[in-house]
Amino acid sequence: MKKKSTWCIILAICFIVSMVGANLVASSFGKVKVLNYTIPLSELSSMISENVAENGRTVDVLFDADTASQISLTVYVPKNATKEHPAPAVVCAHGYNNTKEMQLFNLEELSRRGFVVIAYDLAGHGRSDVSVNDHTKGTEGCLAAVEYAMSLDFVDIDRVGLTGHSAGDLNCSNTLAIVNGAESNNHVRAWFCSSGTIAALFLSQDLTDNFIWRVGVGKCDELDTNFFGASHFLDTPFAASLVQKTYPGFSDSVVTDGQWYGADGPIDTPSAGNALGVDKAISICNPGYTHPAAVFSLEGSRLSIEFFYAAFGTPTGAKYISPKSQIWPLATAFQLLGMLAFFASAVLLVGLLLETKPFEDLKRTSDVMSDLPSIKDWRQWVMIVVVFIPLILFPIFTYFPCYTKGSAIFDSTSYTAPVVNGVAWWTLCVGLFTIFMLLVKQLLIHFLCKEDERENVFANAAFESVSQCLKTVLLAATVVVIMYIPQFIAYYGFGVQFGIAVYVVGVPRYVWLPDILFKYLPIWIVMMVPNALLNSQTRYRDVPEWASTAFCAFANLGPIVVMTWVNYATIVKTGVLKHPDGDPSIMAFNLFAPMIFIAITGRYAYKKTKNVWLGALINAAVIGIMAVAITRHSSDLMFHF
């Protein structure tokens, strides 16, 4: 018990360091005020009206003041932004199946340089309702965020910019079509389209007057590569057409990487921290990053910082900071620490709760290592080879086909998270195939180990009583609920989430619980139970527990790593993904951490209870919640063109 108490203290310290550290970096160590709003559109409309009544501005409110549709925004206000010296503002739109926290580097790097920065959850993502899209004219909430920014007296209404990522850039494009239209009194002056080139192509030429913009097209962008030749974008007609929207006389066959073009031709890049000095300009960049790296790389952050310095200059009262000086990776390190502590807490909580009176009868005496089979037995090697090789190969060859078919197989009116449907269908197929391989193993045992009556591949999933079954379910639920308490504290108390890049623990909403519990959880259980069964049987008296657990983790993770490596090695060499569907390529990264987690949790829970269900239920619940918490909760048409 003393050892568990020590681990409790260690994990508590990790959580606190993660929360406080990420919060301090977010506030630029106290120099930036961070405000969070999760409110109905009607309340946001009232806030805009109150602001303009006080400061005398004329701000169009073009979205519907709906009382039922909730939108979530985060506002970063640097100290230099005041009523007397209003600062430029940047509204950030995250990508599909993300949350506003995915704009971490823009929030932290631009605000510490004196810009007001606003990020919002797209409609149906994070804490924003799906209905926000219709009430903001198909902009997913971007229109409302822009108009709110323009109403703030510490924001320079003539220097409001946009930046997005992927689907977020489509939000920006749709918003520009409204806000920069002839009937609007207000105009956005700058836009950095960091990825999602199609959004830039949709921008009409008549909107580029008094407008500065940059388009970033990653050479290894999983989505752009098949449509726009991302690896050589600068010499495509698409690049030329973009430049011609600002500089009609452009006739070169190749666009110069990073070159600024004004209305009459190429213009010089401004000196560090200074604005271009023109009202109309475009720049196209072709960096070497992937689609997700547009918002999770030093290069992506540098391009964004340089752009807004060029568009607006260094804000009054703020000091110029080199774009190469970036602190957001430190915040990421703190968030990653929290995510690792989150996963580790599952193991600790299982051990602690099994010592309590309600659950102590679920605990079983640890088996003796000498009773386990020997790895030196050739029959064990036959079973390892025959069972695990197909199990490693199956996910590699089925992931992309299953993902593509997932949304079509599931009824979208019932299963309303399209991307989760793709992963869920693959998960279900992997689980069913694992059950089949367990049956194959049973046949091998029958022919090779007839004298060994202990070997029943499904025995570790049998309950001794109804009471044991119910208590196991209750214990799993208790573990999961307690695991999420630190994440809720982090989110609501410190404004941060545990995670890394586009992969976060997430804060589930109660309105999603029916989907999680009754639709997606059963699918993940189909995978987790047979996975835990194999895990519980892959133990040998002459192999340390950590080593056999590591092997199970490798068997889970290996296929994803191989599949991802081959896919991305191909795009680096040829400019085209081996599997041309970019969306599942991106989502594969989200599987890395869970594949390790389920091996460790499954093994530990089995060792303590001699039953695989506890670990399987915990794994299924956590992975299901994480998947649903970061995706869009609607299969309706996302964008209105």
Residues 155 and 77 in one domain: yes
Q: Which two tokens stand for residue 126?
A: 């994070």
Compute the Cα dihedral for 529, 473, 594, 504 and give only its sign: positive
Question: What does the alpha-carbon distance between residue 460 and residue 360 come to, in Å, rounded to a whole number?
Answer: 19
**Same-domain check for residues 569 and 421:** yes
Flag the least confident range among 7-21, 231-245, 404-418.
Answer: 404-418
What distance in Å separates the CA atoms of residue 564 and residue 575, rounded to the nearest whole number?
15
**Residue 567 sits in which domain range?**
333-364+379-629
Cα dihedral across residues 434, 440, 443, 447: positive or negative: negative
Q: Are residues 299 and 386 in the same domain?
A: no
In the numeric block, the tokens 């527990």 are attached to 545
The more confident residue out of 198 and 614 is 614
pLDDT at 413 over 70: yes
Please name the residue ranges forming H helices in 34-180. Answer: 41-55, 104-111, 132-135, 142-151, 167-179
Residue 627's pLDDT is 86
Asked whether the beta carbons of 284 and 241 are under 8 A apart, the reply is no
Half-sphere exposure of 502 toward its Cβ, with a 13 Å CA cutoff?
A: 25
DSSP string computed for 477-512? HHHHHHHHHHHHHHHHHHS---EETTEE-----GGG
Q: Same domain for 310 and 290?
A: yes
Are the CB atoms for 505 and 342 separated by under 8 Å? yes
Residue 639 falls inside a structural domain = no
* Residues 166 and 192 grouped into a single domain: yes
pLDDT band of 313, cuts 50, 70, 90:
very high
pLDDT range class, residue 388, cuts 50, 70, 90:
very high
Per-residue model confidence as pLDDT tens digits over 60-82: 889 999 999 999 999 999 999 99
User: Quick one: angle between helices 328-353 and 592-609, nearest 10?
Assistant: 20
Q: 155-164 and 116-120 as β-strands: parallel, antiparallel, unpaired? A: unpaired
- With respect to residue 8, please indicate whether it lies within any of the assigned structural domains: no
pLDDT confidence of residue 502: 76
DSSP for 266-285 reads: EEPPPPTT---S-S-EEEEE
Say what the pTM is.
Answer: 0.91
DSSP secondary structure letters along 135-177:
HTTTSTTHHHHHHHHHH-TTEEEEEEEEEE-THHHHHHHHHHH
Per-position b or e across 376-404, b if 16+ CB within 10 A of its CB: eeeebeebbeebbeebeebbbebbbebbb
Dmax of the chain from CA atoms?
89
Q: Is the pLDDT of residue 379 over 60?
A: yes
Q: How many domains does the chain have?
A: 2
Coil, helix or strand at residue 193: strand
- Who contacts 531 (Cβ-Cβ below 8 Å, separation ≥6)? 431, 434, 556, 598, 602, 616, 619
Q: What is the pLDDT of residue 41?
A: 96
Tokens of 389: 């090789």
398 occurs within a structural domain: yes
340 shares its domain with 291: no
**Is the domain of 450 the same as that of 536?**
yes
Burial of residue 543, with CB atoms counted within 10 A of its CB: 0-12 exposed, 13-18 middle, 19 or more buried: middle
* 637 assigned to some structural domain: no
* pLDDT given at position 450: 63
Using CA atoms, how far apart are residues 15 and 32, in angstroms rounded to an integer? 23
Q: What share of the chain is helix, strand, coil (3-state, %, to 5)?
A: 55, 10, 35
Q: State whether 385 and 293 are in the same domain.
A: no
10 found inside a domain? no
8 Å CB contact between 345 and 11: yes
Please indicate, yes or no, if residue 3 is contained in any of the structural domains: no
Question: 321 and 385, same structural domain?
Answer: no
Q: Are residues 274 and 346 in the same domain?
A: no
Whether 1 has a pLDDT exceeding 70, the answer reads no
Q: Tell whether 173 and 277 lie within a shared domain.
A: yes
Contact present, 189 and 159 (Cβ < 8 Å):
yes
* CA pair distance 289, 177, nearest whole angstrom: 28
Residue 40 has a CB neighbour count (10 Å cut-off) of: 18
CATH assignment at residue 40: 3.40.50.1820
Residue 576 covered by a domain: yes
Torsion sign over Cα 332, 334, 340, 341: negative
Q: Are strands 260-262 and 190-193 parallel, antiparallel or unpaired?
A: unpaired
CB 289 within 8 A of CB 214: no
In a domain, 634, yes or no: no
Domain identity same for 269 and 385: no
pLDDT at site 406: 83
How far apart CA 8 and CA 12 sit, in angstroms, is 6
pLDDT at 452 over 60: no
Confidence of residue 337 (pLDDT cuts 50, 70, 90): very high
| % of the chain exceeding 90 in pLDDT | 67
Average pLDDT over residues 222-234: 87
